[in-house]
Structure 1
Amino acid sequence: MSENAALARVHADIEKAAGLLGVPCERAKVRTILDAYEEHVARSVIAFRVATGARNAGDLDCRLTMFPPDTDPYATALAHDLTPKTDHPVGGLLGEIHRQFPVDTSGIDFGVVGGFKKTWSFFPGDALQRVEPLAELPSMPPALGENLEFLTRHGLADRVSLVGIDYRHRTVNTYFGNAPSVCFEPGTMRAILREIGLPEPSERLLRLGREAFGIYTTFGWDSPRVERICFAAMTRDPLTLPVRIEPEIEHFLRHYPHEGDDRRSVYAITAAPDGEYHKVQAYYQWRAQMLDIMLLSDSEEDGG
Structure 2
Amino acid sequence: MTNTVKIDDVYSAIEQSAKLLDLPLESDKVKGALAAFEPAFTNASVALRIATGARREQLMGYRYIKYTGDLDPYETAVSKGLLARGDHPADRLFQDVKERFPIEGTGGDFEIAAGFQKIWCFFPSSRPQPLDELSKLESMPRAVADNLDLLARYGLHSASLFAVDYTSHTLNIYFDGLPDGTFAPERVRELTRELGIPEPSEYELELCSKAFAVYFTFSWESSKIDRACFPVLVPEPELVPTDLGPTITKFAAGVPFAGADRKCIYATTLSARGNYYKLEPFYHWQPAIVNAMHLANSPDEQSA
Q: Is the 8 A contact 2:240 2:252 kept in 1?
A: no
Change (3 A) 1:199 1:48: same
> Offset at 1:183?
2.5
Q: Which moved more, 1:250-259 or 1:220-229?
A: 250-259
Distance 2:162 2:298 in 1: 24
Establish whether residue 128 from structure 1 lines up as the match of residue 128 from structure 2. Answer: yes
1:22 counterpart residue number: 22
Q: Which secondary structure state, in structure 2, belongs to the residue aligned with residue 34 of structure 1?
A: helix
Matched, 1:257 2:256: yes
Residue 89 to residue 209, structure 1, CA distance change in 2 (3 Å): same
Partner of 2:162: 163
Q: What are structure 2's unaligned runs of at least 5 residues?
A: none
TM-score by length of 2: 0.94
Alignment pair present for 1:105 and 2:105: yes
Distance (whole Å) between structure 1 residues aligned to residue 49 and residue 195 of structure 2? 26
Say whether the 8 Å CA contact 2:237–2:281 is kept in structure 1. Answer: no
Please tell me whether the aligned partners of residues 7 and 42 of structure 1 are also in contact (alpha carbons under 8 angstroms): yes
Distance, in Å, in 1 between the alignment partners of 2:154 and 2:241 is 25
- Alignment check: 8 A CA contact 1:11 1:30 kept: yes
CA–CA separation in structure 1 for the residues paired with 2:241 and 2:250 = 18
RMSD: 1.7
Gaps of 5+ in 1: none
Cα deviation 1:223-252 (Å, max 9, x = unaligned): 000000011111013543567231211111
C-alpha separation in 2, matches of 1:234 and 1:248: 19
Provide the residue aligned with 1:203 in structure 2. Answer: 202
CA distance in 2, matches of 1:114, 1:13: 18
Structure 1 distance, partners of 2:38, 2:70, is 16
The alpha-carbon deviation at position 176 of structure 1 amounts to: 0.2
Residue of structure 2 in register with 1:94 after alignment: 94
1:293, 1:70 → 2: CA distance?
18
Conserved 8 A contact 2:208-2:268: no
Counterpart for residue 188 of structure 1: 187
TM-score by length of 1: 0.94
**Corresponding residue of 1:266:** 265
Q: Distance in 1 between matches of 2:303 and 2:153?
A: 25
1:1-304 to 2 correspondence within 5 Å?
6-68=6-68, 70-158=70-158, 160-240=159-239, 244-296=243-295, 297-298=297-298, 301-303=301-303
Answer yes or no: is the 8 Å Cα contact 1:179–1:215 preserved in 2: no
Give me the whole-angstrom Cα distance separating, in 2, the residues matched to 1:246 and 1:298.
27
**Conserved? CA contact 1:62–1:110, under 8 Å:** yes
Q: How much has 1:266 moved relative to structure 2?
A: 0.7
Residue 239 of structure 1 contacts residue 250 of structure 1 at CA under 8 Å; is this kept in 2? no
Asked whether the 8 Å contact 1:118–1:166 carries over to 2, the reply is yes
Mapped partners of 1:147, 1:303: distance in 2:
32
In the TM superposition, what whole-angstrom CA distance separates every residue of 1:146-181 from its partner, at most 9, and x where no partner exists? Answer: 0000111110012x1110001111000000011233
Q: Deviation at 1:97?
A: 1.1
Aligned residues of 1:208 and 1:242 also touching (Cα < 8 A): no
What is the rounded CA distance, in whole Å, between the counterparts of 2:264 and 2:167 in structure 1? 25
Report the count of equivalent residues.
Answer: 299
For 1:84-128, what per-residue CA distance to the aligned partner results, in whole angstroms no more than 9, with x for missing partners?
A: 221110100000111111111101000011111100001111001
Cα displacement (A) at 1:57: 3.0
Kindly indicate whether the alpha-carbon contact (under 8 Å) linking 1:213 and 1:303 is maintained by their aligned counterparts in 2: no
Distance 1:183 1:281, change over 3 A: same
* C-alpha contact 1:69 1:104 (8 A) present in aligned 2: no
Amino acid at match of 1:217: F
